[in-house]
Amino acid sequence: MPDISTFLNQTTVPATSATSARAAVPAAGKPALGKDDFLKLLMAQLQNQDPMKPMDDTAMIAQMAQFSALEATQQLNATITQSANVQTVASAGALIGKYVQANLADGSSSMGAVTGVNFTTTAGVVSPTLVIDGKDVDYSTIVKVSSSPITQTPTP
């Protein structure tokens, strides 16, 4: 009976260990195996098994346990991402009315009161952009937050 690694080597799907409970890490340009891929592999394995030598019960149970672990891991990852998004929204929203200093990509700094927050979502992750003096400033560039106006300190 062909095993999963043999099947994987005959397809365009990147090969991973069938006995590993961890999810595949995507290589550059190659998608990771998901639960749908796992089910397809399991079905192919069942369809192509030797009727005189059926799959061992323990192997089948182990593969189903791996599938359950993969699905639980994906659900946990989605929950963690959602929790991080909620925390990001709350943290960025709490800056409205505060004075901030941000180091911009061009080496300059921007200071002023936060008058608003814009949110964009990319691949399920929320990224806030603060509105300071009518300009959009990336939340990740903030280096100082104050309840009173921030003054530029001269550099020696």
Q: Are 35 and 70 in contact (CB under 8 A)?
A: yes
Residues with Cβ within 8 Å of 29's Cβ and at least 6 positions away in sequence, in order, are none
Average pLDDT, the chain: 77
Last residue of a domain, one of 66, 87, 108: 87
Q: Are 15 and 8 in contact (CB under 8 A)?
A: yes
pLDDT band at 32; cut points 50, 70, 90: low
Cα gap 15→94, rounded to integer Å:
46
150 pLDDT higher than 90: no
**Bridge pairing between strands 99-103 and 109-122:** antiparallel
pLDDT attached to residue 16: 39
Q: Are 121 and 128 in contact (CB under 8 A)?
A: no
Considering the domain architecture, whether residues 129 and 109 belong to the same structural domain is answered as yes
Last residue of a domain, one of 40, 70, 87: 87
Q: Which domain holds residue 36?
A: 4-87
Report the domain count for the chain. 2
Considering the domain architecture, whether residues 64 and 21 belong to the same structural domain is answered as yes
Considering the domain architecture, whether residues 11 and 79 belong to the same structural domain is answered as yes
Residue 155 in any domain: the answer is no
Cα gap 49→145, rounded to integer Å:
64
Residue 156 in any domain: the answer is no
105-141: b or e for each residue (b if 16 or more CB lie within 10 Å)? eeeeebbbbbeebeeeeeeeebebbbbbeeeebebee
